[in-house]
């Protein structure tokens, strides 16, 4: 097993990575926990044993379940079951499950401990790490949430072998992002049965852990983890395109490189580097057919980072950084020139 510490001030915890990591659940529960609410989805098919009394609380499938109604339903079920502040929640599933269960744990009794057992590549390298929880509104993704650090994260890489190919690509969209935030250019795994996959997952976790420890509440550096996400989230919110999160982020990375070039931050070689790396993971590099550019610009203006006009994470001479107040006309022109 590989253990990656996340040294968040006041709430440090470990991420355990490797085949069979979920079987360490009982050992990572906070002392004194006597009941565990296990939140999952019907199609996950991954069992856990917390070693204490527990009950499974399934939520709906898909992004539609990532809403306030699901959080209310969970909290009411926990209240009827008798879950207390001294008990714990365990989230078993992908990013939807960890986001929803984490947020519900953050607000139930004003905060109960939560342990994440992410079952997707996307969840293991990104969604379950860092304590950002939340749900969507019709107006945008992740607009309601809380920072609530887990007590531990168990990344059992053995469960990734059962993922459909497209779900693996979904994770590769986030993994591609980490290449620009510190992961070596030649370090990407290409298949879920790569013998070094646990090492790759742990490398991504370590990069995110370092950023989160330095900036838990996204006051500055943590926003870099949203590289490629401004357009990516807009594509997801629009809902008219058949795109998974990682696929949308991949398009966002390609766009961000072109926007950075238009602003004089990188040259043609920098754009080519982004295109080549995204294509390596068999990810999309073009806007969906018929994409409404004006609508995408409008949605990007609602992004959480957009506190001073259109805001993006863009590559530059010193690497990616947050760039605020980007001219909407430039954004529109670059989108119009996208392949």
Instruction: Provide the pairing of β-strand 114-118 with 152-156.
Output: parallel
Task: With beta carbons less than 8 A apart as the criterion, state whether 304 and 206 touch.
Answer: no
DSSP-assigned letters across all residues of 2-44: EEEEE--TT--EEEEEETTGGGGHHHHSPTT--EEEEEEETTT
Catalytic residue flag (residue 337): no
Q: Catalytic residue, from 22, 177, 244, 245: name it.
A: 245
Nearest to 41 by CA among 148, 109, 118: 118
Handedness of CA 206, 210, 213, 217 (dihedral sign): negative
54 labelled catalytic: no
Q: Say if residues 104 and 72 touch (Cβ distance below 8 Å).
A: no
3-state secondary structure labels for all residues of 69-120: HHHHHHHHHHHHHCCCCCCEEEEEECHHHHHHHHHHHHHHHHCCCEEEEECC
Q: Which of 170, 226, 236, 304 is catalytic?
A: 226
- Is 302 annotated as catalytic? no
Catalytic residue among 132, 141, 261, 305: 132
Catalytic residue among 167, 216, 218, 247: 218
DSSP state of 288: P
For residue 268, the 8-state DSSP code is H
Is residue 179 part of the annotated active site? The answer reads no
Q: Cα separation of 75 and 104, whole Å?
A: 7
- Catalytic residue from among 80, 110, 139, 318: 110
Say which of 167, 174, 216, 247 is annotated catalytic: 174
**Burial of 195 per CB tally in 10 Å (0-12, 13-18, 19+):** exposed
Catalytic, 274? Answer no
Is 53 part of the annotated catalytic residue set? no
233 catalytic? Reply is yes
Based on the residue annotation, tell me whether 226 is a catalytic residue of this protein.
yes
Out of 22, 35, 141, 208, which one is annotated catalytic?
Answer: 208
Residues paired with residue 171 on neighbouring β-strands, in sequence order: none
Task: Say which of 35, 229, 244, 274 is annotated catalytic.
Answer: 229
Active-site choice (54, 141, 169, 233):
233
Task: Examine the residue annotation and report whether 132 is marked as an active-site residue of this protein.
Answer: yes
Q: What is the CA radius of gyration of the chain?
A: 19
- 22, 54, 169, 222: which one is catalytic? 222
Catalytic machinery residues: 110, 132, 174, 208, 218, 222, 226, 229, 233, 245
């Amino acid at each position: 097993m590989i253990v990656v510490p996340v040294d968040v001030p006041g709430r440090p915890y470990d991420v355990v990575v490797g085949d069979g990591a979920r079987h360490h659940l009982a050992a990572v529960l906070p002392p004194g926990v006597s009941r565990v609410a296990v939140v999952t989805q019907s199609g996950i098919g991954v069992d856990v044993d917390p070693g204490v009394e527990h009950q499974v609380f399934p939520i709906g499938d898909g992004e539609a379940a990532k809403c306030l109604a699901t959080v209310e339903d969970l909290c009411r079920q926990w209240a009827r079951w008798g879950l207390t502040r001294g008990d714990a929640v365990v989230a078993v599933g992908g990013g939807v499950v960890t986001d929803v269960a984490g947020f519900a744990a953050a607000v139930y009794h004003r905060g109960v401990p939560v342990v994440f057992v992410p079952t997707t590549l996307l969840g293991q390298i990104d969604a379950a790490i860092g304590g950002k929880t939340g749900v969507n509104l019709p107006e945008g993704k992740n607009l309601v949430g809380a920072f609530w650090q887990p007590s531990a994260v168990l990344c059992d890489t053995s469960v990734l072998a059962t993922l459909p190919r497209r779900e693996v690509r979904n994770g590769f969209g986030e993994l591609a992002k980490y290449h620009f935030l510190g992961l070596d250019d030649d370090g990407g795994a290409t298949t879920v049965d790569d013998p070094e996959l646990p090492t790759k997952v742990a490398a991504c976790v370590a990069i995110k852990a370092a950023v989160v420890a330095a900036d838990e509440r996204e006051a500055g550096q943590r926003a870099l983890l949203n590289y490629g996400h401004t357009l990516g989230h807009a594509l997801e919110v629009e809902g008219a395109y058949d795109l998974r999160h990682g696929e949308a982020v991949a398009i966002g990375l390609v766009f961000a490189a072109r926007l950075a070039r238009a602003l004089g931050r990188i040259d043609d070689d920098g754009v080519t580097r982004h295109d080549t790396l995204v294509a390596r993971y068999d990810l999309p590099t073009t806007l969906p057919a018929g994409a409404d550019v004006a609508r995408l610009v409008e949605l990007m203006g609602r992004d959480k980072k957009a506190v001073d006009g259109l805001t993006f994470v863009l590559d530059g001479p010193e690497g990616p950084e947050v760039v605020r107040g980007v001219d909407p006309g430039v954004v529109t022109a670059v989108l119009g020139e996208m392949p």
